[in-house]
Amino acid sequence: MSLIAAENLTVRFGGSPVLDGVDLSVEPGEIVTIVGPNGSGKSTLLRSLLGIQKPSAGKVTRKRGLRLGYVPQKLHVGPDMPMTVRRFLALPHRPGAADAAAALARVGMAGMEGRQLIGLSGGQFQRVLLARALLARPELLVLDEPTQGLDQPGEAAFYKLIEEVRREYGCAILMVSHDLHVVMSASDRVICLNHHVCCAGTPHVVSNAPEYRALFGYGTGGALALYQHDHDHNHGHDHDHGHDHGPDHAHENDHAHPQTHEHSDA
Ligand SMILES: Nc1ncnc2c1ncn2[C@@H]1O[C@H](COP(=O)(O)OP(=O)(O)OP(=O)(O)O)[C@@H](O)[C@H]1O
């Protein structure tokens, strides 16, 4: 049974629909990524699935008792709003100290409970948002452009973390992303949205679809094909440059280098 499904989902804010007859489902354990141009309705689709946005037509079905974790696109914390990581993790439900510590450790932020949110780097803040979402022990983790504003190593490290979380928690992941090369290496399924579903399927299929190419161009499509990546292969050389980047950059560049390998599990 699907964890979540949209059927003929339509959302209008006045004029022409922002979402028009969208069908989508997420199955247990899979990573599904939504790509699409600016304003194509990606966030609206996530908000509809989460129940924050009411559809004009169609319906959303969730598995009964579905445990959801949500990492929003942006969260502005101003200097006039002092808040520690510990307090932030307690919104809206206060976790036990051990659970909070474990969630922070899982995202590479062990012992950071007492830090002020305002003092965190972009990458550290994203990790705290992820830790907060993990406290729900989600069966489905929903992320809206989780690496916006991060540099490329930070981005690659964050996606690697998401893959690890998926493995450990066995949760499905539904995300919106603009980081096309990472999307293509880290997703089981890609949905290309432009108010309606233009095309959907494995990264390989989508990157070669004419509908996708019409939106993103041949240049990008070519680059994406290069980025398709076998998760299990050995690169045959060491990507660790011999210095410690700290938690923000605890990457091995696994998904940051062009590879000519085809995706083995696509
Ligand atoms: N609550 C709202 N009221 C009116 N219009 C809205 C509302 N929410 C979204 N829109 C409009 O719907 C369209 C799609 O917005 P949405 O944020 O879903 O797109 P997106 O694909 O996520 O864009 P981006 O890639 O820029 O984040 C935009 O034109 C936006 O202005």
Residues 148/213/21/59 CA torsion (nearest 10 deg): -40
User: What is the percentage of the chain residues whose pLDDT exceeds 70?
Assistant: 80
Is the distance from CB of 184 to CB of 209 less than 8 angstroms? no
- One-letter amino acid of 241: H
Query: What is the residue whose two structure tokens read 């062990």?
Result: 110
Band of the pLDDT at 224, cuts 50, 70, 90?
Answer: very low
Band of the pLDDT at 222, cuts 50, 70, 90?
Answer: very low
| Residue 5 reports pLDDT greater than 90 | yes
- Out of 24-28, 176-180, 186-190, the most confident range is 24-28
102: CB partners within 8 A, 6+ apart: none
| Ligand 1 centroid from CA 42, angstroms | 8
**Cα–Cα distance measured from residue 167 to residue 77, given in angstroms and rounded to the nearest whole number:** 31
Choose one of 12, 16, 43, 178 to mutate for the ligand 1 pocket test, by most ligand atoms within 8 angstroms of C-beta.
43
Give yes or no for residue 52 CB within 6 A of ligand 1.
no
pLDDT of residue 215: 80
Please compute the mean of the pLDDT values over residues 36-65 and round it to a whole number: 93
Helix 122-134 vs helix 152-169: angle between axes, to the nearest 10 degrees?
10
Quote the distance between the C-alpha of residue 131 and its chain's center.
Answer: 14
Task: Tell me the CB-side half-sphere exposure of residue 39, using CA atoms within 13 A.
Answer: 3
Among protein residues, the one with the nearest Cα to ligand 1's atom 29 is 39
Greater confidence, 35 or 179? 35
- One-letter amino acid of 163: E
pLDDT of residue 251: 33
Give yes or no for residue 215 CB within 6 A of ligand 1.
no
Give yes or no for residue 18 CB within 6 A of ligand 1.
yes
| Residue 220 reports pLDDT greater than 90 | no
Token digits for 226? 């290069």
Q: Are strands 140-144 and 68-71 parallel, antiparallel or unpaired?
A: parallel
Greater confidence, 244 or 148? 148
- Out of 57-66, 144-153, 246-255, the most confident range is 57-66
Is the distance from CB of 230 to CB of 203 less than 8 angstroms? no
| Residue 26 reports pLDDT greater than 60 | yes
How many C-beta atoms surround the C-beta of residue 117 within 10 A?
Answer: 17
Is the distance from CB of 150 to CB of 117 less than 8 angstroms? no
Band of the pLDDT at 128, cuts 50, 70, 90?
Answer: very high
* pLDDT (tens digit per residue) in 200-215: 998 888 888 888 888 8
Token digits for 109? 């932020």
Atom of ligand 1 nearest to the CA of 40: 21
| Residue 265 reports pLDDT greater than 60 | no
| Residue 240 reports pLDDT greater than 60 | no
**Cα–Cα distance measured from residue 226 to residue 180, given in angstroms and rounded to the nearest whole number:** 11
pLDDT of residue 40: 92
Choose one of 18, 20, 177 to mutate for the ligand 1 pocket test, by most ligand atoms within 8 angstroms of C-beta.
18
Is the distance from CB of 31 to CB of 172 less than 8 angstroms? yes
Band of the pLDDT at 235, cuts 50, 70, 90?
Answer: very low
ipTM over 0.95: yes
**Cα–Cα distance measured from residue 197 to residue 7, given in angstroms and rounded to the nearest whole number:** 12
How many C-beta atoms surround the C-beta of residue 168 within 10 A?
Answer: 10
**Cα–Cα distance measured from residue 106 to residue 109, given in angstroms and rounded to the nearest whole number:** 7
What integer best gives the mean pLDDT of the chain?
A: 79
Give yes or no for residue 42 CB within 6 A of ligand 1.
yes
